[in-house]
Amino acid sequence: MNQKTYVVKEADIQRKWILMDASGQNLGRLASRIAQVLKGKNKPTYSPHLDGGDYVIVVNAEKIAVTGRKLDQKTYYRHTGYPGGIREINLRGLLVRHPTQAVKFAVRGMLPKNRLGRRMLKKLKIYAGPEHPHQAQSPELVEL
């Protein structure tokens, strides 16, 4: 009895569009669920060296929840490229100025740190409010 091992190929990958509502969801738990779907770990054809995940649309990103004192204590850093150009902003300020970035940063930290991870992140679409322009793709709503 000879059993063959099935190896998924790039041409065999079927992608769906998934819609997730972030209102009232914990930031870290939401981000880990999104990262799983982007990687394709929720599919039986998961392969770590391929981008087999689905497209993810996140709506109501401005209504995420965090526990403890993270709104004031969690700090995001960036550098302008000039000497002394380090800039920092806490989570509360980030949600006021760029409400979608908090979810993006959390998901990006859970994806691979290489070309494959950057390719996976391009399939993530985040919107601050309940509206999104992807009705034509007929995304299916996933409850978290």
Q: What is the pLDDT of residues 29-52, one digit of tens each?
A: 999 999 999 999 999 999 999 999
The string of pLDDT tens digits covering residues 85-108 is: 999 999 999 999 999 999 999 999
Strand, helix or coil for residue 104: helix
**Is residue 137 a part of any domain in this protein?**
yes
**Is residue 36 a part of any domain in this protein?**
yes
**Is residue 55 a part of any domain in this protein?**
yes
For residue 12 the two structure tokens come to 């065999």
For 62, which DSSP code?
G
The DSSP code sequence of 6-57 is P---GGG----EEEEE-TT-BHHHHHHHHHHHHHTTTSTT--TTS----EEE
Contacts of 54 (CB under 8 A, 6+ apart): 15, 16, 17, 18, 37, 38, 40, 123
The dihedral over CA atoms of 97, 102, 105, 107, expressed in degrees to the nearest 10, equals -150
Confidence of residue 143 (pLDDT cuts 50, 70, 90): confident
**Is residue 50 a part of any domain in this protein?**
yes
The string of pLDDT tens digits covering residues 53-80 is: 999 999 999 999 999 999 999 999 999 9
Res. 4: pLDDT tops 90: no
What CATH number corresponds to the domain at position 136?
A: 3.90.1180.10
Confidence of residue 7 (pLDDT cuts 50, 70, 90): confident
Domain that holds residue 23: 15-66+98-141
pTM of the model: 0.92
Question: Nearest 5°: phi and psi at 103?
Answer: -70, -40
